[in-house]
A and B are shown apart, each in its own frame.
Chain A
């Protein structure tokens, strides 16, 4: 009888509730526009400056290129800009937002520059046109030659305020270039500008990697007749040999905490993965198999390493647990998979697969699921490496035989060449945030 009562009450309650809902419920499961309309106005001279349109033009180019790569925006054509674009007003109450709404833009960048006795000051603002609010305001002070750097920094800032995470545009890319006829280590901006050569070994320099904690690179060089692992401080130029075991000392990769380096040594007549300390002493042997084991890449937690091995016949990607030394196979498809790079977000591993004579890039989850191709067509795409925020990839591409460094979004879209087409550039590595 008790249950019966409860049953009646339940039924009554149900009936009551079904009467209440009156508002129409709608689910919108995707935005109508998948880009943010953005208007970038030109930098305007601020009071008390020497006028230099070159500064404004260069700034605009750099910022536009960075923001286009981000894939976030749909740029409003500057030809349609109305009178407010030519007013310096940098405060939200000085801006005629109505004009910008007419152009159907959601976001607006305004800025001014001041050149005063060789010093450059740039004031920048990012506004939300719809809610008429300031999203980000920055002032940058530097030398006249710092225009590009300032533009990259502001692009990072825009990414921060619109995605919650800073962009990687103010970072550096190290790469191997044959510009001098020999493979040497080089360094450049993310857009390919300001490239400088760091080594003059005049032999073969290979496969650099940035220290996550110091402004320092490791790479392999044949300078002393054997492929040894070198370490180089970028600004002092100081250089030393970190690992000089008989045989290969290649593919060095700093652990995420910067305290160890994973690399391939062949001191025992077979290539195996080892962990060495930053003083060069061997801490641990990671693999033990007669096959070839190369190309280590750490996961962001620093407890697993993806690598290439031919222990099952063809080169495939495997993962070794640094603590238990347990090896699991990651890729099964394809006949030749190489150069894995683990995303700093941890969710994906990018690698190159040789198929029908061409290398293309693929991504796969660390559990082996979602193995998908992200680049297509002609040109060998190799040596993929992640940006520090995991949003972009840098890689080498020999499309039209012009082996050079390319950059694209992590989903494979927006690919563009950033280094000169003639220098046979390869092996890029992306720095952390400096």
Chain B
């Protein structure tokens, strides 16, 4: 009987050790929200050459149309790292030129689509895709594109560019693309 009690006590002790051990498992630290290094483009002062031209309404419309076309065709998609929605430096560079295209065509409405590669759970990737689209949008806003011109949608891993299962396809699929709607 006594032996039993002793084993019982020992067990209890071991158990309590275990429990306290579990509780103390070092929780992973929250990753610090990464500071965004905002690249300030210092535009060089160019001598403003004033060209005086008579403009007809048709021409203005044609110009706007051209800008819209340029925006529609010129908006370049950006890529992301695995399980990340933080913009890479190269992505930021692309977004700067995209922003320029968008400011040139103020009538254009754009839909930003967030996508993921096939790895990971579908639901999680839907949320991740949305984070990517939102990160893209807020960066464009910081570059002066009006927020109400942009909407976002996430397709998660549902619409891959390349359906293959290799690193090249995956990195291609982790993206935010732009769709122009008028």
Chain A positions within 8 Å of B, measured between CB atoms, are: 183, 204, 206-207, 222, 225-227, 247-248, 250-251, 264, 266, 269-271, 290, 292-295, 308, 310-315, 329, 332, 336, 338-339, 352, 354, 357, 368, 382-383, 401, 426-427
Contact = CB atoms under 8 A, between A and B. Distances in A.
B155 interface: yes
B127 A271 contact: yes
Interface residues of B, number: 28
A248 B130 contact: yes
A401 B153 CA distance: 28
Interface stretch (B2-10, B21-29, B46-54, B95-103): B21-29
Going nearest first, the 7 A-B pairs with the smallest beta carbon separation are A338-B121, A271-B127, A294-B123, A292-B127, A313-B28, A312-B28, A295-B123
B30 interface: yes
Given A248-B130, A271-B127, A312-B27, A183 B158 contact: yes
B124 A295 contact: yes
Given A248-B154, A294-B127, A382-B121, 15 more contacts: A206-B126, A206-B158, A227-B154, A248-B130, A250-B123, A264-B126, A266-B130, A292-B124, A292-B127, A292-B131, A312-B27, A313-B28, A313-B29, A354-B119, A382-B122
B134 interface: yes
B132 to A, nearest CB: 11
Contacts of B121: 294-295, 308, 315, 338-339, 352, 382
Nearest to A357: B119
A308 B119 contact: no
Contacts of B154: 227, 247-248, 266
Interface string B113-138: 00000011111101110110010000
A222 B22 CA distance: 43
A352 B120 CA distance: 10
Contacts of A401: 165
A328 to B, nearest CB: 11
Given A225-B153, A248-B154, A207 B123 contact: yes
A139 to B, nearest CB: 45
Given A183-B158, A368-B22, A313 B127 contact: no
Interface string B124-163: 1011101100100000000000000000111100110000
20 contacts: A247-B130, A248-B126, A250-B127, A251-B123, A264-B127, A271-B127, A292-B131, A295-B124, A308-B124, A310-B124, A313-B29, A313-B30, A315-B120, A336-B120, A338-B121, A338-B123, A338-B124, A339-B123, A354-B120, A357-B119
Nearest to A338: B121
A227 B134 contact: no
A313 B31 contact: yes
B123 to A, nearest CB: 4
